[in-house]
A and B are shown apart, each in its own frame.
Chain A
Amino acid sequence: MGRLNSKDVLALREMSAEEMTLILDTAESMKDIIGREIKKVPTLRGRTVVTLFYEPSTRTRTSFELAGKYMSADTVNLATTTSAVVKGETLRDTAKTLEMMGSDMIIMRHPVSGSCHLLSRVLKCSVINAGDGMHEHPTQGLLDIFTMRQKKGRVEGLKVAVVGDIYHSRVARSNIWGLTRLGAEVTVTGPSTLLPPMVEEMGVKVTSRVEEALEGADVVNVLRLQLERQKGGLFPTIREYSRMFGVNRERLARAKPDVLLMHPGPMNRGVEISSEVADAVYSSINEQVTNGVAIRMAVLFLLLGGGEAA
């Protein structure tokens, strides 16, 4: 079995196609474990994994925790809402303290882009980025790709449309790097104010016409719209957003008949996605949750595990 090139998983941009494929392949066998009646293998016994979340999350944090537990690691969750450094201990000090307590891995979510890079510089133990600011959310990207690969049987050559607030989305960035590196053809779309400058140089097609982006798509990944962006003046009203950029049945008809519709959740029904197509998403959502655990098991195993998968 192969290895990852780094002690950390910080960004899919920093990962080779081979490494990503290794994680995806490993996740296949991990998924078998989740399907068993007794979901426990001793692989990471004696290893300690800490989740350190400076932003609220249920899905991601829980799936990391379960991933650790299914492989017998000791897991500790640290949630904090104090993101401002002035309020207390610095990130560096908090992380150092956790490492000194014997943590083998810190899984962090943080509102500031690049914070996991800071952590990885300071710590000897492994660091996993569970979402940093607007930068990346590598395990989400991998689980999206894992789901695509499972449903479509391949990643290379897939036409994938990513729809919505690309500007502020770490999920979008991880999708872009992961998918393009594995040979998919990615189009990003949304109102021009929510498309970051020069995003085309990341190797994607860019359009503000959702219809154009959905034309012939194998996969449509709809991002969650943060409703407070409207107050910042980035688009006039929720109503207009929904009318011009929302994914609905009519627009989706332009995609391939067997299109896979995805959404990282939680959905704003009637905003970025209409209710009638939102229900169709649910067919893959349950699968997605399981896949999320499998991907995280794979990453934990590849970074911490010594031997073969059980």
Chain B
Amino acid sequence: MRILIKGGRVIDPARGIDRQGDILVDGDRIGEGGGADRIIEAGGLWVVPGLIDLHVHLREPGFEYKEDLASGTRAAARGGFTTVAAMANTSPVTDSRAAVEWMVRAAAERGVVNVLPVGAVSKGQKGEELAELGDMAEGGAVAFSDDGHPVANGELMRCALQYAAMWGRPVISHCEEPKLAGEGVMNLGYWSTVLGLRGMPAAAEAAMVARDIMLAELTGGHLHLAHLSTAASVALVRDAKARGLGVTAEVTPHHLVLTDEAVNEYRYDTDTKVNPPLRTAGDIEALVGALADGVIDAIATDHAPHHRDDKDVEYNYAAFGISGLETALGLVLTRLVKTGRLDVMGAIRALTAGPAGVLGLDRGTLAVGSPADVTVIDPERKWTVDPGTFASKGKNTPFKGWELQGRAVLTVVAGRIVHEELA
């Protein structure tokens, strides 16, 4: 099957391209030349490499009532993502080669986008003994992370960074000093004081970012920092990059558009409960700046779908997390690009070449011969966030009812159309 996407604005940050043109999908690769089985008129649309999300929770196996490989990857396709990295905090935990290989097979059978397994750093994500990172790497794990459970043990983190480097894999760190974060359910600051909720100080994240950067320096390993949320963390990463250390970082859309004041505005709605917590306007400013100048490499959703039973309870008892795959692109385009805080190239880079670079993937570009993962975006399309229409089982979003502009209208994975809503 040859699909010609014709006359769109082709934006390919990996090659520094932003111009009118055609893209030919030839089987599972990007091709060239004419002659197509289907021609898609893309005038007024953006044609970009398939979006890559470094950080999703697909919940299968073990928590299929929250999400499964089929629903999670459909949500990805709907959001314009063609590749997602699936975190290991499933049940059982993805901490063995068998589990990694199962994930690869099951995702190929039931998933509609590329699913890249992230293996656990420690057995059972217990933070005690190193899992079989080498075996998992050979089985297809693209990175290692105990995400959801910060690696409190510095020696374990040191070994993980050093050991994973043998396979050229990053260790993804969920930075949180557990004692400092304590039983916090939101950012520590004015609003936690007013609302009487326990707060997690920004220092709980930054202290761990500092430790992990020092360990990256010590070991020469590749540290990838998940969901940065504070200005202090940004400063540390900026410095580490300036010193040429093997450090990369991501930020979520919700940390770029919402502050902790949302917990008040939403009157304790648990859809605002997320870890790391929503921070302050000053943090957002630092995060957007770091995205614009490349200190932060990628926008990742930390897609954390939950069943309403896990959310429709008292604030302290509710699960952390936001279902993010289907709102990410719209939020970035509406709140960052349209407002002029991030240019189009920077935004698309953070969703394509940026994350591809973090994992060393041969994706995230529309160069001839690359995998035929393509996303077509209608930058003008206005839509309202309605969790009822989500493909994800997780309807937990603080963006319900938000008016957004710009969305994915065509998602192509390995030459196959997995999502289409062309006008």
Binding site for B on A (CB under 8 A): 13, 84-85, 90-92, 110, 112-115, 117-118, 121, 132-136, 170, 173, 196-199, 201-202
Contacts and interface: CB of A to CB of B under 8 A. Distances in A.
A90 B193 contact: no
B194 A13 contact: yes
B193 A91 contact: no
21 contacts: A13-B194, A85-B313, A85-B317, A91-B313, A92-B312, A92-B313, A112-B315, A113-B196, A113-B268, A113-B316, A114-B196, A114-B268, A114-B315, A117-B268, A118-B315, A133-B316, A134-B196, A134-B198, A135-B196, A197-B193, A202-B193
Contact of A90 (B194, B198, B267, B313): B313
A134 B190 CA distance: 14
A110 B314 CA distance: 9
A114 B192 contact: no
Interface of B: 188-190, 192-199, 267-268, 309, 312-317
A25 to B, nearest CB: 27
B191 to A, nearest CB: 9
Given A90-B313, A110-B314, A173-B196, A117 B267 contact: yes
Nearest to A14: B267
Contacts of B199: 197
A113 B195 contact: yes
Q: From B193, B199, B315, B316, name the one whose CB has the most chain A CB atoms within 10 angstroms.
A: B193
A197 B312 contact: no
A85 B270 CA distance: 15
B308 to A, nearest CB: 10
A87 B267 CA distance: 26
A274 B189 CA distance: 33
Given A113-B196, A197-B193, 6 more contacts: A92-B313, A113-B316, A114-B196, A118-B315, A121-B267, A132-B196
B272 to A, nearest CB: 11
Given A91-B314, A114-B314, A202 B194 contact: yes
B196 A170 contact: yes
Given A90-B312, A92-B313, A112-B317, A201 B195 contact: no
A115 B314 contact: yes
Contacts of B267: 114, 117, 121
Contacts of B313: 85, 90-92, 118
B309 to A, nearest CB: 8
Nearest to B201: A197
Residue of B188, B189, B314 most packed against chain A (CB within 10 A): B314
